[in-house]
Amino acid sequence: MCTLRHVEFWDLKDTKTGKVLAWIAARPAHCDRGRYYANVEAEHWKSESDPWPRYYFRLDYAKEEVVAYCAAKKIDTSAAEWVDVTEEP
């Protein structure tokens, strides 16, 4: 079983409101579903056929896909940026 490590952590934060729209957390390297775990926190329409959280193997791809998903769901990311909120162990 893979557990989340909250050591490496990134927030997609709206710079105007300070609201976290989405986040990505690192997972242990041995996890076979993906090295990163992402979730969208912003209010949006969800369905069973469009499940979150999602897993990714590459951080750059995860960030791109989360922003693209937000755009498709009409979540405004024009003032958002990825912020490294990694905590020291």
pLDDT (tens digit per residue) in 11-30: 999 999 999 999 999 988 78
C-alpha 27: how far from its chain's center? 12
Domain contains 29: yes
**Residue 46 clears pLDDT 80, i.e. is over it:** no
Domain contains 64: yes
Domain contains 22: yes
Q: What is the pLDDT of residue 77?
A: 94
Collapsing DSSP to helix, strand or coil, 20 comes out as strand
Domain contains 88: no
Cα angle: 2, vertex 13, 25; to 5 degrees: 10
Q: What is the DSSP letter of 73?
A: T
Q: What is the pLDDT of residue 15?
A: 93
Structural domain of 15 = 9-80
Domain contains 2: no
Q: What is the pLDDT of residue 5?
A: 46
Q: Report the domain count for the chain.
A: 1
**Residue 34 clears pLDDT 70, i.e. is over it:** yes
Q: What is the pLDDT of residue 1?
A: 47
The mean pLDDT value for 64-80 works out to: 93
Distances (CA, A) of 63 to 1, 24, 48, 67, 89: 24, 8, 22, 6, 23
The mean pLDDT value for 45-55 works out to: 81
Picking from 28, 35, 3, 26, the residue whose alpha carbon sits closest to that of residue 86 is 26
Domain contains 63: yes
